Structure 1
Amino acid sequence: MPVASQRKAFSRAASGVPTAEEDSLEISPAWEPGGEAVEGLHRWRASLREDMSRTLDDPRWPRALAGVGVVHLLAFLVCQALAEPVSRRDLRYLAIWFVELVCVFGVMRALAGRHWIRRSAAVNLAAKLWTTFLILSFNVVSLNSLVGIENPWFKAVWGTLSTFLFASLAWLFTPLFFIPAVQMWATGMLMAQFDPYAYLIYGVSWSLALFGIAGWIRRAH
């Protein structure tokens, strides 16, 4: 009997007819978020936005963002002054960007408060996105240097990364951040078109974006 049953199973497998065990198997459907998960996500976003709104009620924030805009503009004016017709590796740019980063943290600490980055969950999340943006910005410079800095395509990519940063803030907090996101898209296009003035374009655009955000916070809060 066992031999006969094995022969039947073998014949069914050879003929392509599914066995009873195979008939009982069901393919599990793809996972889809349930109502509770979606509702929880909406509550998290609403809580995050409320937290950011409460934090921005502090009148120090517009001054801090405007101060960062000034630091950024000055740093990239220096970069523009050092720009040459043919790009080459120049450690002075790294020094300028490092000094700018230190000055940004100094301005934020002086104008926004000592523990500004840990004051709220919303600000902490925005700071983490900004840190990721800085890492990626430095990464594209490193990649461009490895493949040949003579064609400095990293400058236009900075515009794309800036667009991604502001678009992420728009999805998390307010659609108004799509305004600087579109601005940074146009900035990248201008940097690609007018490469000799890319540092100037980038510095002015970011400064205008920060000044605009500071002005909006002042009016709204």
Structure 2
Amino acid sequence: MTEKTQLYLVPTPIGNLEDITLRSLNILKQVDVILAEDTRTSGKLLKHYEINKPLRSYHIFNEHKTVDALITQFKEGSTMALISDAGTPSISDPGFLLVRECLANNIKLECLPGPTAFIPALVKSGLPSDKFVFEGFLPHKKGRQTRLKALAEEERTIVLYESPHRLVKALGQLIEYMGEDRQASVSRELTKLHEETKNGTLQEIKTHFEQGTVKGEIVIVVDGKK
């Protein structure tokens, strides 16, 4: 393992730009290169904090092509920070492949603590948080029913990510497999001006979000099977 840290996984705010740690800002100012999921999105954050570092694109569509070149640069002594559009890299975002290859090549890395959407959503849900399962995004098509059937039997609290335009449909599917009276919570736009959390039964929540257009990043929290 290299003596100095060469890759830092740096969480970025999920909405409010003030939700970034002092250590994260210091690391972003110190590294040679910042790898960003979307350079336009990350550019706004870096400009806000007057961080002027080379910004390179690293996302799900190019990570397999770029990881070998990045490993070579690490071996040559480069230090980099990996950030996603929002939250902690590798949590439903690119990062896992790069971490795995760094470890395989004895390249020292660190993951800084910081924002991630599912923790505040879980806490705000009022559902048991001592034991829970994080599922991220369910498969869009193949394997989706299989996962829903399995989750219907899960006794721990379930945490899911979903896109706004699929929220109502997803709630309908959860009702189909878990029943309309299962307790749940949906949070959207966390830390932003129009932050909203709706608690209740799956049916009550579905009815609420059917009333208008849904916007923002979505976290669904569902009570486990009793």
Confirm or deny a common fold (TM above 0.5): no
TM-score, normalising length from structure 1?
A: 0.23
Larger Rg: 1
TM-score, normalising length from structure 2?
A: 0.23
Structure richer in strand, relative to its length? 2
